[in-house]
Amino acid sequence: MYPAVRYISFGDHALIMEFGNSINPEVNRKVHAFHDVISNAKLSGVCECVPTYRSLLITYDPTKISYEKLVSEAKSLEKMSKAGISERKARKAIVPVVYGGDFGPDITRVAQCHNLKEKDVIRIHAGREYLVYMIGFIAGFPYLGELADEIATPRLESPRLRVPEGSVGIAERQTGVYPREAPGGWHIIGRTPLKLFDPSWQPPALLQSGDTVKFRPVSIDEFWQIHSAASRGSYDPFIQE
């Protein structure tokens, strides 16, 4: 975490607020908290915000707000919001997953790599809550962290051309879910029946940056039950508190 937020200009219509230079939940939570602050402020000339691991990108229309003005507005919001910044309440989702087998072909390798049994990999992966650091790569893909060191595994040496929709993967100290079929180099350890992205939804992504996620191991039978409920739109993975 930097002692003071860094303001960096990007191109001719974006400002980056950088909060630190590492991937960790504390820095990332700051990003989401400030994303809320900027969004709520509804500054004229600000177009959209993109929260990522350690920074927040803010796009603007330079004919409506100058870069200097935007920076000074952001700085004063930053000062004003310092007190409230840790109180952000994250949404919590429980994501059902079938681990191993055809749905998670790499779980054996992950287990071997760490001298664990498959069931230990499942226990460890499903045993903690993850923060959605950011959405990127393909529409609706959540980057989740931090994965326990015991199962942190490097990317595949050669990426697969097709990773099926719903695949749950791990790479280094991160885990993520493929919202649709795509090429990918993450170790695939399971699959969720949930749909993560639908352009007809408002908003289009099930998970958003700053949410928290916990995985729940399910049987194949339950996978298909949830799959059909989810495709009817009658499955809510969020915990109501």
Q: Does 1 bind other proteins (CB under 8 A)?
A: no
- Backbone phi, psi, residue 221, to 5°: -60, -50
In the bound state with other proteins, the residue whose beta carbon lies nearer, of 99 and 208, is 208
160-219: which residues touch other proteins (CB under 8 A)? 180, 182, 197, 199-200, 203-205, 208-209
For residues 21 and 30, what is the distance between their CA atoms, to the nearest angstrom?
13
In the bound state with other proteins, the residue whose beta carbon lies nearer, of 24 and 225, is 24
131-150: which residues touch other proteins (CB under 8 A)? 134-141, 143
Please state, in angstroms and as integers, the Cα–Cα distance from residue 169 to each residue in 43, 145, 207, 214, following that order.
Answer: 38, 12, 16, 14
Chain centre distance of CA 16 = 19
Strand spans (E) along 83-241: 92-99, 130-135, 142-145, 160-163, 167-171, 174-177, 182-184, 187-191, 212-217
Residue 87 CB, nearest approach to other proteins (Å): 21
42-61: which residues touch other proteins (CB under 8 A)? 47-55, 57, 59
Residue 219 CB, nearest approach to other proteins (Å): 30
Q: What is the contact surface with other proteins in residues (CB under 8 A)?
A: 8-14, 16, 21-23, 47-55, 57, 59, 62-63, 66-67, 134-141, 143, 180, 182, 197, 199-200, 203-205, 208-209
